[in-house]
A = this chain, B = another copy of it.
Amino acid sequence: MKAKIIITPKKAVVDPQGKTVQSALAHLGYQGVTAVHVGKYLEIDLAPGTNAAAARRALEEACHKFLSNPIIEDYRLDIE
């Protein structure tokens, strides 16, 4: 079982890394890019037989407490 977590800066927060990628793409001739947001991706392998609901609860807590900064970041957690 795998948990996939995507952490992105909130829309209202300045994202200098995204701006840099956006201007780099423009300089290199890639047209039509209106915005770039850069975030983190975590793939967590869970031991076989782990309870999905319990894993989700624990990982939601971990995301909120220390994997993301909830003041400036959003996260999305998928367990599959």
Contacts and interface: CB of A to CB of B under 8 A. Distances in A.
Interface of A: 6-8, 18, 21, 24-25, 28, 30-47, 50, 55, 58-59, 62, 66-67
B45 A34 contact: yes
A35 B24 CA distance: 33
Given A21-B42, A38-B41, A41-B41, 10 more contacts: A8-B41, A30-B59, A30-B62, A32-B46, A33-B47, A35-B44, A36-B45, A37-B42, A38-B42, A39-B41
Contacts of A39: 40-43
Nearest to A36: B44
Nearest to A21: B42
